[in-house]
Amino acid sequence: MTVNIDLTGRTALVTGSTQGIGAAITTQLARAGARVAVNGRTADSVGRAATALRAEVPGADVIEVAADVASDEGAARTLEVLPTVDILVNNLGIFGAVPALEIDDEQWRRYFEVNVLAAVRLTREYLPGMMERGWGRVQYIASDSAVVIPAEMIHYGVSKTALLGVSRGFAKAAAGTGVTVNAVIAGPTHTGGVEDFVYELVDRQLPWEEAQREFMRAHRPQSLLQRLIEPAEIANLVTYLASPLASATTGAAVRVDGGYVDAIVP
């Protein structure tokens, strides 16, 4: 028995997809045959990511959407370029280490605007069309930090907790329509941004492999994987959830966290 994920004829938008997890998701969706929209804030970053995607997946149908979807103007620009989508992956997010008592109101607002409201806004725009057509996939890239709030960045953790509630709520709004809405709980993942974050918490003089091991030992000891997850491993689950194979999975928070969250029930 083989598993064949075929997204031919489907259009996917992955927000914040010029690098890291987002770029890996666009690659996997394109390999499955989807028409993929690469999104970032600048035309240069989007162009570079789109060129890399076309080289990685020859023949890929790629749309370039240069817009800051965390703003009203950027969301409007995205809708102009891409009026309808079949698959919406709300991947855009920011993170950083700040002591809890030093997170000011402006930082709290910024994290809510980027990590939560941007996803809510796009869902509100695209979900009705999916429901009318009787097929669609909406996903939110959450984090283990949604469940295990990290002491060094509670504003980030709380924003990801909010996404779990947003996902469940919109899944209820789409009940019985053929559209699924899910959150993906990603564990500690190896990206360029995370490398910078790791070196904020461990000795910058350590070689990367040693720094990673020290970070996992000191700051993420719950991980059963005992290593950082690769972006493609996150993308594999996202691609499955975007496919017809996942038609009965909705309203869920699905974990690809390396066993980081200490729970039996997902």
CA dist 33 and 106 (Å) reads 41
Domain spans of the chain, in order of start: 11-189+229-256
231 contacts: CB under 8 Å, gap ≥ 6 = 20, 21, 23, 24, 25, 189, 190, 191
pLDDT band per the 50, 70, 90 thresholds, residue 2: low
CA dist 144 and 134 (Å) reads 31
CA dist 99 and 65 (Å) reads 35
- 264 pLDDT more than 60: yes
- 152 pLDDT more than 80: yes
Q: What percent of the chain has pLDDT over 90?
A: 89
**DSSP conformational letter for 91:** -
The residue assigned the tokens 């890399």 is 52
Sign for the CA dihedral angle at 11, 94, 266, 222 comes to: positive
Report pLDDT for 194: 83
At the fourth CATH level, which superfamily is domain 11-189+229-256?
NAD(P)-binding Rossmann-like Domain (3.40.50.720)
Mean pLDDT of 183-194: 91
pTM of the model: 0.94
Catalytic (active-site) positions? 156
